Amino acid sequence: MKPLFITLLMVMPMFASKELDEYNKRVRESTAVLSEIMHAGDKSIPEDLLRKAECVGIVPGLKRVGFIVGGQYGKGVLTCRLPNTIGWSALSTIRIEGGSIGLQIGAGETDVVFVVMDQRGMEKLSRDKFTVGGDASVMAGPVGRTADAQTDAMLHAEILAWSRARGVFAGVSLDGATLRPDNDDNDKVYHRRISQKEILHGDVNAPPDTMGLYDELNKYAPFRKTENVKP
């Protein structure tokens, strides 16, 4: 038993290091996705929507399969505004599963960006799991430098979403997809058992290797002061 125990002690740090490398890679890919989309000119996410967003989620390389209707699975990161002037929360690792990205044939990968537009939608993200379009209202987000053409329905949507596949960037509904925190990943990143609600409410600090994503996000959605916050 003793040699086995020693072997486990040696192997466990290797697994932890690999998982952290995957996490850091996911953050870098998310940063690149946001940067590339926001530099797409008239095909970008409207900056005024990002400035109003309560939360921003990015899922790079979402895997999709299907014929006419399809399935999807991917991991990404999520951050929400904190109720003060210090900016965005630490990142929570999230999973998207099931549902369909419109009509599609074949298999492939797509990048997904979604923004949560109000506090009600933000609180729903704190659940262990919710269904996009069922538990939260969602619409395909508009593209362009501004969202002047947004409809009344869009103004009341809790979540707006976009996807990019094969260089084509457009709004997407994500109806039927489930979104949940990846608790195992979050526990490893923050070195303790932690809920997504704790992460998004500012109970932990962001790891140093994630700063590049905040730098990119703050170009378009900088810190803002929340009303009725005690000094």
Into how many domains does the chain fold? Answer: 1
Smallest Cα–Cα separation from 102: which of 161, 146, 30, 36?
161
**3 within some domain:** no
- Which amino acid belongs to residue 87? G
Mean pLDDT of 38-58: 88
- In this structure, the number of other CB atoms found within 10 A of the CB of residue 58 comes to 25
**Angle, to 10 degrees, between the axis of helix 2-38 and the axis of helix 211-220?**
20
Q: Is residue 6 part of a domain?
A: no
Residue 104 reports pLDDT greater than 70:
no
For residue 62, being part of any structural domain is answered with: yes
In this predicted structure, the answer to whether residue 153 has a pLDDT above a threshold of 50 is no
- The alpha-carbon radius of gyration of the chain (Å, integer) is 18
Range of the domain at 199: 14-220
Compute the average pLDDT of residues 170-188.
85
Residue with tokens 């269904």: 131
Where residue 198 falls among pLDDT bands split at 50, 70, 90? very high
Domain membership of residue 63 (yes or no) is yes
**Lowest-pLDDT range of 7-11, 60-64, 159-163:** 7-11
Query: What is the helix (H) or strand (E) element at residue 11, kind and residue range?
Result: helix 2-38
Q: Is residue 22 part of a domain?
A: yes
Beta pairing, strands 92-97 & 55-80: antiparallel
Across residues 164-169, what is the average pLDDT?
74
Report the C-alpha gap between 101 and 68 in whole angstroms: 10
